[in-house]
């Protein structure tokens, strides 16, 4: 097999079965040297297992159909189908894998599109290795991963200026978030659903919904993704991690 072929693990049923406790990762990038180096870096971590590699978008879709990957590390600029097209196809297919955009691009419009298409994180290729490891574990746990610079840029472009600017104005003009509301915002940013939030803080699911309605109104956001981005931008998402 040459470097120009998709890299798959042993196709036997035993090899394909998920290994308990491991985060199963697929790498998608059109540069063989980068893929090889990244695979070697990830293999140093005891809880990571690289189960497939792809050099273009079509191979990504093929591998994701065959592998039970937990996390896909996806480049935006690839031959054939680009990263955004891959995201759209995976979204349409109902893929449940978490997706991190791992890219050298700093095009904030692409980042916004990627978030809207369901990616869970954006990591620049110049990011420190330890932060890449952390992003994989956080995204696997259901959280959204963006660094502070990228979060701010995405927030500025995620919605129209009137909506996102209004969010900041509303946050100052109206009553600030209560401690309970901040707690709920932090849990949303960490990937918890309404029922899970209710169980975690011992209130009813309907009460969670009522709080979210008030939070959306105060902040001027329209959905959970925008709320999670706001939480990351303001640092709310880390308030419960101590």
pLDDT digits (tens, 9 = 90+) for 225-235: 888 888 877 77
Owning domain of residue 147? 7-154
Residue 1 lies in a domain: no
Residue 82 lies in a domain: yes
d(CA 233, CA 87): 24
Look at residues 135, 154, 173 and tell me which one is the last residue of a structural domain.
154
Residue 54 lies in a domain: yes
**What is the Cα 106 distance to its own chain's centre?**
17
Same domain assignment for residues 125 and 106: yes
Contacts of residue 192, Cβ cutoff 8 Å, sequence gap at least 6: 142, 200
Of 93, 111, 203, 91, whose CA–CA distance to 152 is shortest?
Answer: 111
Residue 118 lies in a domain: yes
The domain total for the chain is 2
Of 182, 172, 240, 191, whose CA–CA distance to 214 is shortest?
Answer: 182
Same domain assignment for residues 173 and 140: no
Residue 2 lies in a domain: no
Strands 98-103 and 48-54: unpaired
Residue 16 lies in a domain: yes
Same domain assignment for residues 127 and 11: yes
Give residue-wise pLDDT tens across range 165-223: 444 444 444 568 899 999 999 888 887 889 999 999 999 999 999 999 999 998 888 88
Same domain assignment for residues 21 and 62: yes
Residue 124 lies in a domain: yes
Give residue-wise pLDDT tens across range 83-141: 999 999 999 998 999 999 999 988 888 888 898 898 999 999 998 999 999 999 999 99
Same domain assignment for residues 174 and 106: no
């Amino acid at each position: 097999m040459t470097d120009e072929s998709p890299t798959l693990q042993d196709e036997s049923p035993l090899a394909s079965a998920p290994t308990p406790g491991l985060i199963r990762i697929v790498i998608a990038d059109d540069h063989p040297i980068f893929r090889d180096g990244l695979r070697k870096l990830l293999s140093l971590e005891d809880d990571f297992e690289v189960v497939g590699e792809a050099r273009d978008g079509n191979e990504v879709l093929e591998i994701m159909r065959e592998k039970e990957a937990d996390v896909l590390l996806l480049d935006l600029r690839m031959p054939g189908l680009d990263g955004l097209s891959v995201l759209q196809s995976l979204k349409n297919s109902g893929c449940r894998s978490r997706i991190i955009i791992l890219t050298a691009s700093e095009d904030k419009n692409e980042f916004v599109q990627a978030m809207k298409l369901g990616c869970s994180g954006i990591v620049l290729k110049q990011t420190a290795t330890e932060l890449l490891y952390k992003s994989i574990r956080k995204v696997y746990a259901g959280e959204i991963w963006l660094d502070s610079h990228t979060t701010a840029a995405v927030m500025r472009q995620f919605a129209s200026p009137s909506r996102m600017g209004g969010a900041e104005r509303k946050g100052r003009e109206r009553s600030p978030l209560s401690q309970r509301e901040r707690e709920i915002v932090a849990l949303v940013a960490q990937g918890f659903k309404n029922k899970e939030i209710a169980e975690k803080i011992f209130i009813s699911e309907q009460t969670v919904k009522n709080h979210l309605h008030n939070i959306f109104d105060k902040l001027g956001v329209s959905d959970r993704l925008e709320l999670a981005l706001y939480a990351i931008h303001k640092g709310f998402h880390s308030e419960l991690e101590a």
